[in-house]
Amino acid sequence: MNDRNLARGLFLVAISLAFGLQSLRYTIGDFSHAGPGLFPALVSALLFLIGVVTLIRSRLVERVRLDLNLKNIAIIIASLCGFALISEHLNMIAGIVFMVFCSTLAGTSYSWMRNLKIAAGLVAMALLLQKLLGLNLPLY
């Protein structure tokens, strides 16, 4: 299997099945009285449909070579681990800034200004989630 579109479709189907089958352990309910399993089941069903469409499309379009860049995968994993560690031991704002600046090293271009804008946007979203929804986020 050396086709990026086929791998993408199989990955989407696998993820949707993993979450969709787990959502069946909870009560689904109906739309007027939704149970805790309704939302994950609906999202998984939509993701499954997108995966099936991607699989069908992979058979109709020209194959695209699947290249795995292990260096970029390691950079993304390191940025996520660093985010978790910094958020736990320092605060989440520093973790967000670290994650943005570290993960963009995996891209094809690097811009300090773009990274600052992305980090500011993510910090603003986290503050909104904390203040408006009352989520317990250790931002500062």
Q: What is the mean pLDDT of each run of 10 residues along the chain (140 residues)?
A: 87 95 87 85 95 94 87 96 95 95 93 95 93 84
Q: Considering the entire predicted model, what is its pTM? A: 0.67
Cβ-Cβ contacts under 8 Å for 12 (sequence gap 6 or more): 47, 48, 50, 51, 54
Q: Which residue has the tokens 């994950």?
A: 40
Cα–Cα distance measured from residue 12 to residue 51, given in angstroms and rounded to the nearest whole number = 5
Asked if 123 and 91 count as a contact pair (C-beta separation under 8 A), the reply is: no
Structure confidence at residue 75 (pLDDT): 96
**pLDDT confidence of residue 51:** 96
C-alpha to C-alpha distance for 41 and 22, rounded to whole angstroms: 9
Residue ranges of the alpha helices (H) in the chain?
A: 4-23, 38-60, 70-89, 92-103, 112-132
Q: Would you state the torsion angle of the CA atoms of residues 132, 39, 44, 17, taken in this order, to the nearest 10 degrees?
A: 110
Q: What is the pLDDT of residue 31?
A: 80
CB 86 within 8 A of CB 55: no
Q: Report how far residue 94's alpha carbon sits from residue 83's, in angstroms, rounded to the nearest whole number.
A: 8
